[in-house]
Amino acid sequence: MRTGEQYRKGLAKLKDNVYMNGKLVSRDDPVQEGAVNVMAATFDYALDPEFKGIGTAKSHLTGETVNRFTHIHHSMEDLLNKQKMTRLFSQELGGCVARCMGIDATNALSVVTYEADQKYGTEYNKRFLNWLKRVQKEDVACVCGQTDVKGNRPWRPHQQKDPSLYVRVIEKTKDGIIVEGAKAHNSFSSCVDEDIIIPTRHLTDEDKDWAVAFSVPADAEGMTLINAAFSPPKRKKLQAPYSKMGATHSITVFDKCFVPWERVFMCGEPEFAGKLALLFALFHRHSYTGCKAALSEIMLGATALAADYNGIANAQHVRHKLADMISVVELIYAAGIAAGVNHTVAPSGTYVPDTNYCNVGRMLAGESIYEEYMDLAAIAGGLSATLPPEADFENPKTKDMLNRYIMRNPDVSTEDTHRAFRLFQDIMASHWGGHKLIDALHGGGSPVIEKVGIYRDFNLDHSKNIAKRLAGIKTDANDPKGELNRLTHAFI
């Protein structure tokens, strides 16, 4: 396992292919320092004694201790611990832990490469496991590029006027494949060693050229990252952990990009494209039952702090509101636990969390986040928006006035009051905070997408049979009464 520092050094060596704000920049450009800090933390936390047993796991390939972000789940405990890790690291960081995309894509590939090989006698799984061994050994940081730019939404890949609006294979050679197209919202792609590319949707036989999955070094020839970097507003004196983090999202463009065969994990099997897309989404939504529980708890903690500092913590409506916020935290996390408990085991041996529990947890998180922002704003009050800039707290002409008039709860120092409201402003009223709010809605799949999955994966006929039987209407004889709706309750 590497340290955060080793990771940073490795990153700095990558070739420059990242454009930000109109310029070609190196990976250690200060503008993405916050995002790099987040990724580095996933290395340091694995080694941190306070997180003992959380950030590491025992490789099923080598038996060695590896960073959990490179691990394939091989037990229910693995699933539960990954959820727990995601929550703990996220609350420590103040938000997104970034590297979950790597573990989630890797786990999905472990299942689908195996099944494709079973059907077609290909050797995707072998290639994948070789690749994985190196990833575990060298503690490689990966993310996943899934969402294509998609052009006109109602059209399938092969129907688009420009066929590269979905990433596709334009040529196969003896040594590998040549790909073209672009992935959108490729989060933290500018902060990793490798970018795992997978399909974004169900494909038909006519979309064969678009059924492609592979991993490339993030500075591969023919790959350009047009990057948007975000971080909380910089502080001058009032340093705080929250201000240290950040995120990047790129439109990652592949222009005749070559990928050698040993890095190709799917190529021309459209019936597995949708499966891979869904499976990554599934693992990723399970991650969200961890990180979004953390995010909701951060919003909860901030709101409770605001109530204390404003001296209104005992108002009944405030306590009720906090109870509602707690409830969201608990239900999101409970959904992830239930998903882990009700896992299935894939033919590859990978443990897979339950679909519906993941979807309902993620959907609740997505649907609640705007209300959580409203709760914090409501209880913190307008000062979250109108707080004068930090510099006015330093200017000798205005400093004393501000310190005098910002005072509220007499048990709280002016500096702590300032710190708290500065945090609230960064969360709610900054470029960073606004982008995070949208991210919390859409990242890992929007609520409307989860609705589709929930409707699809639930055995609605079973529910209808319950109603029919109670009504005295003939039911399906194959639907026994001693069963729950869901068929995957492996554990109980």
Chain positions 209 to 268 lying near its own copies, rule: CB under 8 A, are: 224, 226-228, 233, 238-242, 249, 251, 253, 255
Token pair, residue 308, equals: 């204390």
- To the nearest whole angstrom, how small is the minimum distance from the Cβ of residue 395 to its own copies? 5
Smallest gap from residue 131 Cβ to its own copies (A): 28
Neighbours of 5 (CB within 10 A): 11
Binding residue for its own copies, selected from 5, 171, 173, 448, defined by CB under 8 A: 448
Q: Applying CB under 8 A, which part among 16-24, 111-119, 124-132, 203-211 lies near its own copies?
A: 16-24
Whether the CB-CB separation of 259 and 177 falls below 8 Å is answered with yes
Listed in sequence order, the residues at least 6 apart from 118 whose beta carbon sits closer than 8 Å to its beta carbon are: 347
Closest CA to 178 of 207, 143, 214, 217: 214
Rounded Cα distance, 227 and 322, in Å = 37
CB of 347 to its own copies, least distance (A): 26
Residue 30 is a binding residue for its own copies (CB under 8 A)? no
Separation CA 299–CA 271 (nearest Å): 41
- Applying CB under 8 A, which of residues 323, 347, 477, 478 lies at the interface with its own copies? 323
Residue among 58, 74, 133, 150 that touches its own copies (CB under 8 A): 150
Question: How far are the Cα atoms of 49, 85, 279 from residue 53, in angstroms, in the given order?
Answer: 9, 9, 26
Helices (H), 95-245: 100-120, 124-138
Positions 408 through 447 that interact with its own copies (CB under 8 A): 408-410, 416, 419-420, 422-423, 428-431, 433-435, 437-439, 441-443, 446-447
Binding mask 174-213 for its own copies (x = CB under 8 A): --------x-xx----------------------------
320 binds its own copies (CB under 8 A): yes
What is the Cα–Cα distance from 97 to 89, expressed in whole angstroms? 7
Angle of helix 447-457 relative to helix 355-380, nearest 10 degrees, comes to: 150
Q: How far is the CB of 146 from its own copies (least distance, A)?
A: 12
- Dihedral of CA atoms 83, 300, 357, 43 in degrees, nearest 10, equals -20
Query: Segment near its own copies (CB under 8 A), from 64-72, 98-106, 125-133, 469-477?
Result: 469-477
User: Which has the closest alpha carbon to 243: 366, 101, 390, 381?
Assistant: 390
Site for its own copies in 82-141 (CB under 8 A): 84, 87-88, 91-92, 94
Residue among 49 and 121 whose Cβ is closer to its own copies: 49
312: amino acid identity, one letter? I
How many residues bind to its own copies according to rule CB under 8 A? 164
Among residue numbers 345 through 364, which ones bind its own copies (CB under 8 A)?
356-357, 359-361, 363-364
Nearer to its own copies, 73 or 419 (CB): 419
- Which residue among 5, 13, 26, 374 contacts its own copies (CB under 8 A)? 374
3-state helix, strand, coil in the chain (%, to 5): 55, 15, 30
Tell me 72's DSSP state: P
Q: In terms of CB distance, is 109 or 332 closer to its own copies?
A: 332
469 binds its own copies (CB under 8 A): yes
Q: C-beta of 10: minimal distance to its own copies in Å?
A: 25
Its sign, for the CA torsion 92, 96, 101, 102, is negative
Query: By C-beta, is 178 or 429 nearer to its own copies?
Result: 429
370 binds its own copies (CB under 8 A): yes
Single out the segment in contact with its own copies by CB under 8 A; choices: 97-105, 211-219, 276-284, 331-339. Answer: 331-339
Q: Coil, strand, or helix at residue 185?
A: strand
Q: ∠ at Cα 128 (123, 133), nearest 5°?
A: 135
Choose the binding region for its own copies from 58-66, 192-200, 279-287, 378-386 (rule: CB under 8 A). Answer: 378-386
Sheet-wide strand order for 142-145 = 142-145, 194-197, 212-217, 264-267
